[in-house]
Amino acid sequence: MESRNLDKALDIVSTLLMGEEISEHGSNASLYQEYNNNGEVYDIVHMSLKKMNINIYEYNNSLYVSAGENNRAFGYSNEELRKEMGIRNNKELYLAYFVIYNILTFFYQSSDSSAYAEFVRIEEVIANVDAAIVGIIDKKLGIVIDEVEENSFRQIALSWDELPAVSVEDASGTRAARNSKSGFVKLVMNFLVRQELFAEANDRYYPKDRFKALAENYFEDYKGRLIEVMRESNRSMEVENAAD
């Protein structure tokens, strides 16, 4: 291992962990070229990040990182996420996770899907979550879920259904709050904007390349039970709609 290659690899790792951009045409273009063209640097970067339980993704000639599952050093704890998002308890946090998942699937359905919507509105997120919850908890659709999953989804569904579509305060414009579906989605979208995953303009939320990188690789890395259930519910709903 050459000392120079180790230094360059560590420069890349530290730059990414500091939240700076590494891209082909950015201010750190030389680091991107080292990563892209030097096999030893590439291997050291991946080995180092793997040891730290950090995922690295490449999208549109740029590099992005995210904390791996249960990474307490570089990720958020539940308590930290609740504080950051402005919610009170884990029940609301799990609902926020579910909303984020539905935002992700609004733009990206699978690893072989490259078609992105240009933007999403809050009302479209609400409609997506409504449809997903109906698809999961409606036993007529024939979805097989175990008892733990059933109870978890029931709690998510109840938490969502307890919320009115809008609150009285929303009459003059959607505000981030926990007392309505629109307000709750606004809370989530504000968090995603602060994480530099979306840009907001005129009540429209535009996905940034960092979001696209994470979304594209999510379906490759995390093909968990939630995805399986969601896909089965979507298929069943399509069949039922076609039969009507």
Domain identity same for 214 and 97: yes
Contacts of 65 (CB under 8 A, 6+ apart): 16, 17, 49, 54, 55, 56, 57
Asked whether residue 51 is assigned to any structural domain, the reply reads yes
* Least confidently predicted of 28-37, 159-168, 171-180, 204-213: 171-180
Q: Residue 72 above 50 pLDDT?
A: yes
Asked whether residue 63 is assigned to any structural domain, the reply reads yes
What's the rounded mean pLDDT across residues 179-207? 93
> Which residues constitute the domain of residue 167?
78-243
Structure confidence by residue, pLDDT tens digits, 208-240: 988 988 887 766 655 554 555 455 444 444 444
Contacts of 227 (CB under 8 A, 6+ apart): 219
pLDDT > 90: what percent of the chain? 38
CATH number at residue 34: 1.10.10
Average predicted confidence (pLDDT) for the chain? 80
Domain identity same for 53 and 90: no
Domain identity same for 157 and 216: yes
Q: Residue 207 above 90 pLDDT?
A: yes
Asked whether residue 72 is assigned to any structural domain, the reply reads no
Amino acid at 168: V
What's the rounded mean pLDDT across residues 120-131? 92
Structure confidence by residue, pLDDT tens digits, 42-65: 999 999 999 999 999 998 899 999
Rg of the chain over all Cα atoms, to the nearest angstrom = 20
Domain identity same for 127 and 9: no
Do residues 119 and 206 lie in contact, with contact meaning Cβ atoms separated by under 8 Å?
yes
Domain identity same for 96 and 53: no
Confidence of residue 189 (pLDDT cuts 50, 70, 90): very high
Residues making up the chain, counted from first to last: 244
Q: List helix spans (H) across the chain.
A: 3-17, 29-37, 39-51, 78-85, 90-107, 122-137, 147-161, 181-194, 209-221, 225-243
Do residues 190 and 202 lie in contact, with contact meaning Cβ atoms separated by under 8 Å?
no
**Angle between helical axes of 122-137 and 225-243 (0-180°, round to 10):** 90
Domains of the chain: total: 2
What's the rounded mean pLDDT across residues 116-129? 90
Do residues 188 and 100 lie in contact, with contact meaning Cβ atoms separated by under 8 Å?
yes
